[in-house]
Chains A and B, each alone.
Chain A
Amino acid sequence: MSSQKISTMPARSREVTVAAQPSAVRFHAKRAVRNIFSWVSLARLGVLVLLIVLWQLVSLQVGSLWVSTPAAVVTRFGILIGDGSLLSNTLVTLQEAVLGLIFGTVIGLVAGILIARSPRMVSSALDPFILAAYSLPRVALAPFFVLWFGIGLTSKIALVVSVVGFVVLLNVRQGIEATDPVMLDALRSMRATRMQIVRFVIIPSVVPWLMAAIKISVGMALVSAVVGELIGSTEGLGWYMTQEMNQFDITGGIVALITMAVLAMVIYAIAGLVERWLTRWQVAGIATTVAM
């Protein structure tokens, strides 16, 4: 049971390979500027334009009542940014997602380390329950959390924690199992205590796995926060969306959707930057390997 492989091995893209090179930092910055004008960026821009054109065509065909129009959505963005309601609703959802992400990560990390470092008996006893809870569609818990914790921030954070915590927990355990036994032997031969081994070997070697888990969790955290808001709330992007959709205002709903997508991408990008910095030792030196 315990060997369920649901985690993703920290992957390295070619792009990251040069990133953390101290001597290559300037080079990298130049490259980033060049990237904006690269063919890939142009192609992406092309896809975006194509999607907008398609959207426009569909709205002409089936009527703007059903899918709104690009122009109407841009106008609405202008209004909502102007009266500040977009920012305030976004901040509410962001707060729920980020706080849930942080608490969920901490809880998952601590629980993962405790379980992985405890006797086999303990983890074997807990495994079926952890997997049962993990397999549960946890967004279905939203009504429960709203009932228990009210329609405020707490119920959304609890929902996000319940989603993120398990992903982190399972990834952390996988990471600990993958710890190089030679490093453990090395520290033990230096008479390191159990706590020192956790601090100097286990936690650092789990970092790549943890960051992979966090990146997966970003999207799920936003989904959970929004679902929580759909069930019961008085603010947030999910709340705004239900308000508008109940009045058959598709334009408002699409504005909320686009904002969520942008929000997810921004958090994901920040997580990626943190990951790059924390795992710079992994990729360092590809270019500077020196012969004896």
Chain B
Amino acid sequence: MDLTYTPKQDAFRREAREWLAAHVPKQKLASMDTGEGFAQHRVWERTLNEGRWAMVPWPVEYGGRGADLIEWLIFEEEYYRAQAPGRVNQNGIFLLGPTLMEFGTPAQKARYLPRMACGDEIWAQGWSEPNAGSDMAAIRASARLDGDHYVLNGQKTWCSRAAFADWIFGIFRTDPASERHRGLTFILVPLNAPGVRVRPVPQLDGETGFAEVFFDDVRVPAENRLGEEGQGWKVAMATAGFERGLMLRSPARFQATARRLIALYRREKAAADPVLRDAVVRAWMDAEAYALNTYWTASRLIAGGTIGAEASLNKIFWSEMDVRMHETALGLLGPHAELTADAPANADRDGWLDGFLFSLAGPIYAGTNEIQRNVIAERLLRLPRD
């Protein structure tokens, strides 16, 4: 055990810090869930890619640096320390990207990964349907093979980023006689294909972070299939694992939130309810624990270990921590907590209200926390199935 960084890791951190200091936009970008903000965030992704910082763990040929997991965590720490913009292509770079590395053909990797890294193609996700939420195996949207094309029909919903994205990935039923998780296939679809209709849906914060997507005889080439036909569930579970696990919610994000919370506490503590002191220190400890757990897991993975159902432990921890931290912040803001950003009297310059609303999605998306608890109980604790 050695919890100090090597000179190489220190040098990597310095390089990232210096580049970010020179390139992070001085002016905060508009929300990525508005047309204007989405475009600004796409420009930022290009800038990152030009510095070869878009996805440091990826191989050099796809725009990465071949960094290991520890370097990835260091980069993320610096990224959040620099208060750099959110990653508008997170569905692509954090979820589909790793899935392509695992299941994609060489041609698919070459086709999709570089354009993903530079932000030319921004991805939405298409898992859920109106009747397939927690019960994702109830999927009905279909894909019928017609010559060298699939013909897609049906509806996906809660498709994050779909309002402005270029592509969507999702699973479709290719075998009409199949049931549950069999007979599904993972397919990549351009959102400008004829027959695709996108209906943006306003979220709790009023912005259109997700959308419904309708498919009406949409033709996509068969080569847009990721993995084998009928193996879509397996591919999707790998993607979901990345979503719950290490990549999407790196600890630096929550450590940055904890630091901002401490700053807010110092500003407001004279007027604050004393119980909030414990809540603030708990937030700091939780963020620290999450970081330590991530380093612990990363060390295990570097040594050849794997992560499976353990990702469900992660997902519950970070999503509930995020809600608690934002609730604490709203408590500290007192009567100002209900004011939106444009209210003249709003003393909250950190967007805690928007952060709070966003945090509430955490225990729901990527598999609700109740589903995660079932996974933990049955697959880690080995309790009997229902």
| A, B bound | no
